[in-house]
Structure 1
Amino acid sequence: MMPPCDSPHSLFFLATMDVGRATRAYEALKSLLFLYVVSRYALKSQRHLRARGVLASVREFYRWITQQVLLLVLRLPKMKAKVALEMGQAKLDIENRLVPKGPDVTRHLSLPKEGKSLEWILAEMDKMDDEMSHATNWRQGKISGAVYHGGEDLERVIVAAYAKYAVSNPLHPDVFPAVRKMEAEIVAQTLQLYNGPNGAGTMTSGGTESIIMSVKTHRDWARAVKGIAEPEMIIPSSAHAAFDKGAAYLKIKVHTIPVDSYTRKVDIKAVKRAINANTIMLVGSTVNFPDGNQDDIEALGKLAVKYKLGLHVDSCLGSFIIPYLEKTGLSEGSNGKYKLYPCDFRVPGVTAISCDTHKYGFSPKGTSVIMYRDAELRRHQYYVSPDWAGGVYASPSLSGSRPGALLAGTWAAMQYMGSDGYLESCRSIVTCARTIADRIVSSIPELYILGSPPASLIAFGSKHPKVDVLEVGDKMSQRGWHLNALSNPPAVHIACTRLTVGKEEEFIADLKDSIREAKLQPSGQGTMVRVYGLGKSSAVGPAMVTQLASAYVDAMYKA
């Protein structure tokens, strides 16, 4: 029998019941929170395993454990001192290559009291060039990419356009209406080349910014349209590092999918397995930077349509080569090799394409175009601050103020070259690249070509047990060639330009000599072997390479 409601015993009884209910509710809430956290991380783990596969995940975990053990060993006083000594020497070597030394070097560490004349400035610039006389002379044409030179006549055209608009800023289109018009026309003309006449786009400072802008655009689109708060993207292992850079800046998880070792195309089945509810975009290249091959854009497009995702086609390196390959007749390849497959806005599912005008468009460095299938998607790229104390602030890309002179130089270069000029440029450059590739296949049995590159870049690896391809690359450097080293697999690539055309036989002759020398006298001391070989030498190799790369960037700013 319960006590009367107004008795002290009843009040104690009711209070006890309330505490019990609260305790049970609290315990239930804790259990629900625990289940939520467990289920959330279980779902993330399941998606991670699905994207990478069990074996790859186990390898990643094993590599991480090995790395931690080695890092502990390297903290031992003796090992720490040894590593510090070797890294210090490597960093000093980097600095010596980049920073001029000696009593004759004049350093300008503070402003002069009085302004200098134009004659003095030009003479001092010449002196700076002479101080680094060991640097690669790009005009000799023994260089991979880096300088996309359209000829001395075009150089004069660009300089004249730059001089005319040297102080212009597209941030103020009412002050510089001609620059605004030129930028809009550059975007429209590039869209036409990539078969996107109803598309939209903007200019950027280069391929990296174009890619980061596309990542940002697809992230914001997915958040607004699909409610995705924890975005993920899927890229091939051959994709440009700018995608990882953009993901790091924008807090997006990246699933990196391996490419086929023979075709060098991304594994489409693995891409499909990696897609989940948080996926915002897929990525494919035409062509990729490491080995110049093309992903299966049509297959990626089908996945993008089916799962309602974005699909970015990176054609920064394809530039003004890819749009003209079809017109030259070279897109069909030869002997079953070098075929170019559909990759522009004609492919359903493609939502964005990046194209560097400052590569094979021969425009001034610092210009690129990011294109979208429609203007609605492009709006997610913009940044708008309506409540800023300085007034309404709106910009299309990362930069606020931009150099209008570069836009004018790009517009001038495109008008000067014209469609016929770009067509002939494409024909000669691609023919050059394929000549080198064919000569390697037919006359250098120690090497093989990676995949079937359809455009201007080819990469070669070694199939001979006594030939280290990175050693070969170092020997080529001694002969004046400035080439690019690759990893996974170790290889060397050359991006052919107008400067390379006519040097095919010289390249092949130097390559044969370099292979012969690498067999007989491998030094293991060259830049490619030491830096790129280090990355694969142990579990901590990438950390060591990171230190060296950081030292390289530091040295760039040493006056």
Structure 2
Amino acid sequence: MDLPNLDLLSHVPQRWLEVAEKYLKAIPQVRSRLDKETGTVLAHLEKRLKPYKGTLPSFDRLPAQGRPRDEVLRELEGLERREETRWKEGHVSGAVYHGAEDHIAFVNEVYALHSQSNPLHAELWPSATKFEAEVVAMTANMLGAAEANTGLPPEQHICGSLSSGGTESIMLAIKTYRDWAQETRGITRPEMVLPISAHPAFDKAAHYFGVKSVRVPVGTDYRADVAGMRRALTRNTILLVGSAPSFPHGVIDPIAELSELARKRGLGFHTDACLGGFVLPWAKRLGYPVPPFDFQLPGVTTMSADTHKFGYAAKGTSVVLYRGQALRSHQYFTATEWPGGIYFSPTFSGSRPGGLIAAAWATLVTMGEAGYLEATGRVLETAKALKEGISAIPELHVLGDPLFVIAFGSNTLDIYKVMERMGTRGWDLNGLHKPAAVHLCVTLRHTQPGVAERFLEDLRAAVAHVRENPGEKGTMAPVYGMAGTVPFRGLLSDLLKKYMDLLYKV
């Protein structure tokens, strides 16, 4: 996609750009050109996203007669074999965090035993609530609850619930703060202050719950700017946010300073430890430099930590934690006037998959402290070798000082072309922007013999190819470049919505 020179627009106020974009999109010739350009991009994406089209049966309505189960199982097994190679060989960033066959088999067996259970019906499946309560308690104690609870009555202890993933954990926390601030402080136009590196789940929560998201630029070390976030506070601020670590750059924000700022102002503070919650406590015990980030800090009032990432549980569970039951109570929903009876639910979902809750519990109790220490040691040793290898490539530099999520960019090459070239060698990496970079989230898959060495070998070859072929445009690299430079946010948003439409296309 050929992009115009956008440098002249970089200092134009965003509200002016939004007005200009609205009028430009209304011009038929402009609209036609945009549709043509996005159509080209989507046609290319469809080939990658719909590889089974025309080769496997597809259904846009129920078959008149159900297919034989053995036939369906054979088809599913074939799809699994076709798709598992890349992640099993460690060619992806994040995505699958454990992946050993015996671990997967065990988790699947646990899920099968409890596939019909549902904590909505606690009297039928008390095991589901037992598992959930214990997963929350184990996670809380891993994240400083024992120290935080000392000398306090039970109702003030660290508590929480399970959610479907990090995004829901974050959204539950923001919804909770909104309701808490309205009830206790009378705030009806709530705001939260967070660094630009914080996960977009916070913006999603802001969108759904009417909370203004105030984003503050990070410092040169890619960590949250404490002074900048202090200046962004207003009478409507209800909470501050920090990441441990941030998804883009893998660095830990100054949680101690930020949470103390929140505590002194009587505000909430959320540590997003979705990525690091099941890594950092063990990294600290292994002697790595981990700054304080959890409930041992009195200003931290909520946290999120994903059991389905480095907790190694099956996909679909995360933990959201609160400093005390009074705060958590604002997360709950109750209905007392419904003709169908009294209704209540702790999270957004009503029915919830008890099988996933059981699988999370079984994973934590079989891993144990020793298992997490061993796994974390392997991940961090591999990450150290990768960070050193990337830094040794003259054209590349590592952003900040990460532990296990390694972002790297280039001052001389188009890093997106490097990423795309790595794609031709089977690697699936994450493209970042502002600044342009690529990252690799190191998991147990990368600790397998030879994987880190193969990554560095392929990266050196990709860099050499891009350096020696500067005129080569690539196919997706221009799209990543557009995401970081186009000032018209609506254009990019429109493209993303069409991408999601494509996912639902039969």
TM-score by length of 2: 0.92
Determine the structure 1 residue equivalent to 2:74: 123
Distance 1:278 1:543 in 2: 28
After the TM superposition, which residues 336-415 of structure 1 pair with which residues of structure 2 at under 5 Å, given as runs? 340-415=290-365
Alpha-carbon contact 2:116-2:355 (below 8 Å) kept: yes
Say which SS state the counterpart of residue 198 (structure 2) adopts.
coil
Is the contact made by 1:354 and 1:368 (CA closer than 8 Å) also made in structure 2?
Answer: yes
Residue among 476, 481, 500 paired with 2:427: 481
| Separation in structure 1 between the aligned mates of residue 251 and residue 103 of structure 2, nearest angstrom | 29
Q: Which residue identity does 1:193 align to in structure 2?
A: M
Does structure 1 residue 221 correspond to structure 2 residue 183? no
Q: Quote how far apart the aligned CAs of 1:539 are.
A: 2.1
Gap change, CA 1:134 and 1:123, over 3 Å in 2 = closer
1:435 aligns with 2:385: yes
On the 8 A contact 2:244/2:277 being kept in 1, the answer is no
- Pair 1:532-2:480 in alignment: yes
Question: CA separation in 2, counterparts of 1:80 and 1:135?
Answer: 41
Following TM superposition, by how much is the alpha carbon of 1:73 offset from its aligned partner in structure 2, in angstroms?
Answer: 4.2
Unaligned runs of 5+ in 1: 1-57, 333-339
TM-aligned CA distance change 1:359 to 1:61, over 3 Å: same
SS at match of 2:294: coil
- Aligned residue in 2 for 1:329: 287
Change (3 A) 1:365 1:105: same
Kept in 2: contact 1:94–1:551 (CA 8 A)? no
Distance in 1, matches of 2:460 and 2:95, equals: 24
Taking only aligned residues, the RMSD between alpha carbons, in angstroms, comes to 1.9
Alpha-carbon spacing, 1:72–1:150, altered in 2? closer, same or farther (3 Å): same
Give me the whole-angstrom Cα distance separating, in 2, the residues matched to 1:92 and 1:135. 25
Q: CA deviation at 1:417?
A: 1.1
Match of 1:457 in 2: 405
Task: Return the alpha-carbon distance in structure 1 between the equivalents of residues 14 and 500 of structure 2.
Answer: 27
**Shift in Å, 1:531:** 2.1
Distance in 2 between the 1:134 and 1:471 partners? 24
1:233 CA displacement: 0.5
| 3-state SS of 2:334 partner | strand
Amino acid at match of 1:289: F
1:553 aligns with 2:500: yes
Residue in structure 1 matching 2:49, options 78, 98, 122: 98
Residues 472 and 515 in structure 1, CA contact (< 8 A), matched pair in contact too: yes
The 3-state SS of whatever aligns with 1:137 is helix
* Offset at residue 88 of structure 1 (A): 1.0
Equivalent-residue separation in structure 1 for 2:83 and 2:318 (angstroms) = 31
The one-letter amino acid of 1:108's match is F
Amino acid at match of 2:51: P
CA change 1:225–1:499 in 2 (3 A) is same
> SS at the partner of 2:13?
helix
Q: Report the secondary structure of 2:444's partner residue.
A: coil
The 8 Å contact of residues 272 and 303 in structure 2, kept in 1 or not, is answered as yes
Separation of aligned partners in 2, 1:379 and 1:77: 52
Q: Residues 423-468 of structure 1: CA distance to partner in whole angstroms, max 9, x if unpaired? A: 0000110111121111222x211111111113x211001122xx11
Pairing partner for 2:414 from 460, 465, 468: 468
DSSP 3-state at the match of 1:282: strand
CA distance in structure 1 between the aligned counterparts of 2:85 and 2:459, rounded to whole angstroms: 18
1:491 equivalent in structure 2: 437
**Corresponding residue number in structure 2 for 1:12:** none
- Structure with the greater alpha carbon radius of gyration: 1
| Partner amino acid, structure 2, of 1:318 | G
- For 1:269, the aligned partner's letter is A
Is it true that 1:202 corresponds to 2:161 in the alignment?
yes
Runs of 4+ in 1 over 4 A off after TM superposition: 58-61, 127-130, 133-136
Tell me which amino acid in the other structure corresponds to 2:237. Answer: T
**Deviation of 1:154 (Å):** 1.4
2:88–2:99 CA contact under 8 A, matched in 1:
no
1:282 paired residue number: 240
Are the equivalent residues in 1 in contact too, given 2:191–2:212 (CA < 8 A)?
Answer: yes
Query: How far is 1:546 from its partner?
Result: 1.7
Partner amino acid for 1:533? Answer: G
Structure 1 135/321 Cα, relative in aligned 2: closer, same or farther at 3 Å? Answer: closer
Q: Which amino acid aligns with 2:461?
A: D
CA–CA separation in structure 2 for the residues paired with 1:253 and 1:138: 38
The one-letter amino acid paired with 1:477 is: G
Q: Secondary structure at the match of 1:499?
A: helix
Deviation at 1:551, TM superposition (A): 1.9
Deviation digits for residues 151-194 of structure 1 (CA, Å, limit 9, x no counterpart): 21111111111111111001011100111101100000000100
For residue 58 of structure 2, what is the amino acid of its counterpart? Answer: R
Q: Give 1:303's aligned residue.
A: 261
Matched residue of 1:349: which SS? coil
* Percent pairwise identity: 39
Q: C-alpha displacement at 1:328, in angstroms?
A: 1.1
SS of the counterpart of 1:558? Answer: coil
In the alignment, what sits opposite 2:491?
A: 544
- Contact 2:195/2:241, CA 8 A, preserved across alignment: yes
- What is the total number of aligned residue pairs between the two structures? 485
8 Å CA contact retained: 1:211, 1:246: yes
Structure 2 residues not aligned, in runs of 5+? 1-8, 147-156
Letter in structure 2 aligned against 1:82: R
> Separation in 2 of the partners of 1:397 and 1:78?
47
2:457 pairs with 1:509:
yes
1:258 and 2:217 aligned: yes
Is contact 1:207–1:355 with CA below 8 Å preserved after alignment?
yes
User: Which one-letter code corresponds to 1:166 in the other structure?
Assistant: S
Q: CA deviation digits over 1:226-246, x for unaligned, max 9?
A: 111111100110000000000
Choose the corresponding residue for 1:191, options 129, 136, 140. 140
Q: Shift of the alpha carbon at 1:62?
A: 2.6
What is the CA–CA distance in structure 1 between the aligned matches of 2:256 and 2:55, rounded to whole Å? 59
User: What residue identity is the alignment partner of 1:236?
Assistant: P
TM score, norm. by length of structure 1 = 0.83
| CA displacement 1:12-35 (0-9 Å, x = unmatched) | xxxxxxxxxxxxxxxxxxxxxxxx
Q: Does 1:247 align with 2:195?
A: no
- Deviation, structure 1 residue 117: 3.6
1:241 aligned partner, one-letter code: P
Per the alignment, in what secondary structure is the counterpart of residue 390 of structure 1? coil
Indicate the larger mover: 356-365 or 150-159: 150-159
- Cα distance in 1 for partners of 2:78, 2:452 equals 33
Q: Counterparts of 2:186 and 2:116 in 1: how far apart (Å)?
A: 43
C-alpha displacement of 1:71: 5.1
Structure 1, 110-119 or 408-417: larger mean CA deviation: 110-119
CA distance, structure 2, for counterparts of residue 314 and residue 207 of structure 1 = 9
Is the Cα contact below 8 Å between 1:215 and 1:246 reproduced in 2? yes
